[in-house]
Amino acid sequence: MTIITPDLHSLGFDATDRESLVLSATEFVRSAGATGGPSGGAGVPRDGARDRASGGSGSVAVPASGVPASYRCYDDPSGARLLMWDRPAEPGSAGGRTTATVAGLYPAEGAPLLPARLVRVHGEVTHVDLYTAEGDVVARFFATCDDARSVPEARTVDGRLDLYGEISVPQASVTAVSVDSNVFVDEASFRAAAREAGEVPVGLVCPSLFRVHSTGDPEDAEPCALVSGEVLSSERVTNSLTGVDWYRTVVDAAVPLTLAFPADLPVAPLAGTWIAGYVKMCVGTGDRVRGKL
């Protein structure tokens, strides 16, 4: 097995190549759709009702503009998930279509669900305003949304992109997947490294948010953030599709954030360690939390 991309690796989705990973996951999804799903729920499409309506293929029609028309989701018992959809191949490449993938995960047990306002910027990339129970904005970022089909697109008002959320979600789950992160054995080591690098601990900052506010171009939105904080809890789990281990952690980063790390880091992200790095953000609406279809 090889590392296909850092985010897939953080969730244990290693394979000989992307095509073989997609083939394995798709076969599992279709098998689960045809049989009602294996015990443990591996590979069961989250959108059960719509999947059954499409004949159990795992693919559903998507009416919203800019969102994939062929959509499949592999759910692993470890909490990892793989979204897949077909799209036209790049000009000049072999074949008429290719499959895009987005890696994500479900929130750890006990991770809080918070109110949010969402508006889709492009494709599955969504702008998120996250609130406290009292109505104060606690975080603002771009993320991939696991139900982007239901989120309205952002409008342009007076030449500017209006990012005020079009829909309210009473219970949104916020998760992230490590792309390039460092783990420190304790807070002192973390802060010493930050001082040496001339950096200020950020909690959670989305760099492309500033770029989009400046340019007004929705294509500048990237579902990535700089994150730092203490690891509150940690569990080493195994991806059932590939047999590769990864860590599902909860990190104190502006909000308690469920964050996936690969198992081969020099320092394991155990409870009490501190992390800093670049992550891909994911947001889930309430009906996409495990156990709620």
Query: What digits encode the pLDDT tens for the residues 257-288?
Result: 999 999 999 999 999 999 999 999 999 875 54
Where do the domains of the chain lie?
6-105, 114-288
Q: Does the pLDDT value for residue 254 go beyond 60? A: yes
Q: Where are the alpha helices (DSSP H) in 176-241?
A: 187-196, 207-215
> Model pTM?
0.81
Round to whole Å and give the CA distance between 81 and 244: 14
The structure tokens 């030449």 sit at 159
Say how many CA atoms lie within 13 Å of 30 toward its Cβ: 9
- Tallying the residues shown for the chain, one arrives at 293
Q: Does the pLDDT value for residue 57 go beyond 70? A: no
Q: How many angstroms separate the most distant Cα atoms in the chain? A: 58
> Which tokens go with 157?
């008002």
Mean pLDDT of 16-45: 69
Query: What digits encode the pLDDT tens for the residues 87-130?
Result: 665 555 555 566 778 889 999 988 888 899 998 898 889 999 99
In percent, the amount of the chain with pLDDT more than 70 equals 79
